[in-house]
Structure 1
């Protein structure tokens, strides 16, 4: 368990983070409806995902680490919202934390760093899809704290663990580069 005094460093993700990031994501694949992926990934299967988030541009990967142990505590990303060119100024954002890293402000630190990095990009909106109803209250609070507002819910849009799940969509206005 992470101590309350642990210093957390946030930096861009690098290829050597791939194993730890894959482990964190696979926890959510196996244990939760937070992602609608239903099969775990190998690090090699996740490599293209990692490489699609360079250190500059609108699609970023920020990683939080315990400064003492160098353990990765979580990550935040901004990714393409949709593949069509008219959507280029929109991104979808997400945060995933290691199972024992929640409730300590790591998600807040990650989003602060991510949105600071995105401030110079030609972006208009950020979107976040949050699976409903159970288990994602912390994500709703985090997004609302960063100025996201609920704009709609897709009802029973995904099936996982033998049941259907809703996804609530949130949006945040971003200030484009001048």
Structure 2
């Protein structure tokens, strides 16, 4: 995961729900993290077709958001299942990536703010993030948003020529009821709320684009 410097200069920015047609733009953002850094353990970038499938599959149940500046996607964030068992229905794992040229402009913070608002309305109670070590900028970013460090798994993955530690972080999103209602799928939530666009764009106040 990566978020963090440099500011885009356009005032035309917005958050919206990703579509399969965003796959190429998302790949452009994500591929350098795969190829040139240990931040993602996915060393071979997924193809555009693979990302199209991921977007479609994610949106069946969870949010996948993008941030646009002047019509160009400069960052994205998504949620997905932590594990496949029914008992984990109310927790998610998050992913957020921002193009290098857009870092430091509040894009990651804006995407996460909208993601949290949506997930809370869906009934999610905890959001988890996983970071490779070293990645001080992303760790500081998550700490600033209220994530707590739960555990460090030493040398758990071999990536970019070295054994890497991995850290797990958690952010509570709501109280845990004794008998929780089933999670509301993302498409059903968008249909149920009065102003779905406003919910998706709630994080835009954090954008610092000039």
TM-score over 0.5 (shorter chain): yes
| Equivalences, count | 172
The answer for the alignment partner of 1:62 in structure 2 is 65
Structure 2 counterpart of 1:53, from 48, 58, 66: 58
* Residue 6 of structure 1: how far off its partner (Å): 3.6
The answer for the alignment partner of 2:199 in structure 1 is none
The answer for the alignment partner of 1:173 in structure 2 is 172
Structure 2 counterpart of 1:11, from 10, 16, 26: 16
* Residue 53 of structure 1: how far off its partner (Å): 2.2
1:84 correspondence with 2:85 = yes
Distance in 1 (CA, whole Å) between partners of 2:139 and 2:102 is: 17
TM-score (norm 2): 0.76
Distance in 2 (CA, whole Å) between partners of 1:82 and 1:105 is: 30
Larger-gyration structure (1/2)? 2
Which 5+ residue runs of structure 2 have no aligned equivalent? 1-5, 182-210
* Residue 125 of structure 1: how far off its partner (Å): 0.9
Could you say which structure has the higher helix fraction?
2
RMSD: 1.8
**Residues 86-138 of structure 1, C-alpha deviations (whole Å, 9 max, x = no match):** 111110012101121111111011111111111211212110011112xx222
The answer for the alignment partner of 1:159 in structure 2 is 158
C-alpha contact (below 8 Å) 2:21/2:52 kept by paired residues: no
**Residues 135-172 of structure 1, C-alpha deviations (whole Å, 9 max, x = no match):** x2221122112211001111111111110111111001
C-alpha contact (below 8 Å) 1:4/1:104 kept by paired residues: no
Distance in 1 (CA, whole Å) between partners of 2:126 and 2:75 is: 23
Mapping 1:1-178, distance limit 5 Å = 2-4=7-9, 6-54=11-59, 57=61, 59-66=62-69, 68=70, 70-133=71-134, 136-175=135-174
TM-score (norm 1): 0.89
More contact order relative to length (CA 8 Å, sep ≥ 6) = 2
